């Protein structure tokens, strides 16, 4: 069985981190499936999906780390070519990847106690961000 649904939400950009665990579990609930794989994929080339202990101090640590690795002031060929100044966002997104696949069972994602599914929006402006959740299972 296949069941797919888009989730959308607002972000501030600049690697703003949003917890989408409840959103994904909501899609699993709507599908009436018990177990399977959830493919969670960002639409667009400037955001990433991962998991973390979602708490404000760690969110800031991760943002600082990304800023250390690929600063938002970084001069890129992409920004010079297209004039949209978000070359750093693209680099961060491609290196982290656009999505993850997670198992679910008993109609819930299989996660640790302090583990949430997050979207990190690296773009250089506030956006309405869309994530597609595709479920396969039974």
- Residues with Cβ within 8 Å of 40's Cβ and at least 6 positions away in sequence, in order, are 20, 24, 49, 99, 100, 101, 102, 117, 131, 132, 133
Instruction: Please name the residues in contact with 117: beta carbons below 8 A apart, sequence gap of 6 or more.
Output: 19, 20, 21, 24, 40, 49, 50, 51, 100, 102, 109, 111
**Residue 72 engages a second copy in binding (rule: CB under 8 A):** no
- 36 part of the interface to a second copy, by CB under 8 A: yes
Of 7-15, 24-32, 45-53, the window that binds a second copy (rule: CB under 8 A) is 45-53
Which of 24, 27, 70, 119: binder of a second copy (CB under 8 A)?
Answer: 70
Choices 7-15, 18-26, 43-51 (CB under 8 A): range interacting with a second copy:
43-51
Neighbouring residues of 15: CB distance < 8 A, sequence distance ≥ 6: 62, 63, 66, 67, 92, 120, 121, 122
Q: Is 97 a residue that touches a second copy (CB under 8 A)?
A: yes
Cα–Cα distance measured from residue 17 to residue 10, given in angstroms and rounded to the nearest whole number: 11
Q: How far is the CB of 12 from a second copy (least distance, A)?
A: 18
119 φ/ψ angles, rounded to the nearest 5 degrees: -105, 135
- Under the binding rule (CB under 8 A), the answer on residue 23 touching a second copy is no
Least distance in Å: CB of 36 to a second copy? 5
Binding site for a second copy (CB under 8 A): 1-2, 4, 35-37, 39, 41, 43-45, 50-53, 55, 57-58, 60-62, 65, 69-70, 76-78, 80-82, 87, 90-91, 93-105, 110-112, 114-115, 118, 132-134, 136-138
């Amino acid at each position: 069985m296949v069941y797919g649904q888009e989730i959308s939400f607002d972000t501030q950009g600049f690697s703003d981190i949003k917890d989408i665990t409840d959103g994904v579990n909501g899609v699993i609930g709507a599908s009436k499936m018990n177990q399977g794989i959830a493919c969670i994929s960002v639409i667009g080339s400037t955001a990433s999906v991962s998991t973390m202990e979602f708490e404000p101090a760690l969110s800031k640590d991760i943002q600082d780390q990304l800023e250390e690795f690929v600063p938002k002031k970084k001069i890129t060929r992409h920004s010079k070519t297209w004039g949209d100044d978000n070359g750093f966002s693209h680099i961060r997104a491609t290196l982290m990847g656009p999505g993850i696949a997670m198992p679910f069972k008993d109609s819930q994602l299989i996660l640790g106690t302090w583990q949430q599914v997050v979207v990190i929006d690296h773009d250089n402006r506030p956006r309405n961000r869309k994530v597609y959740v595709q479920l396969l299972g039974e």
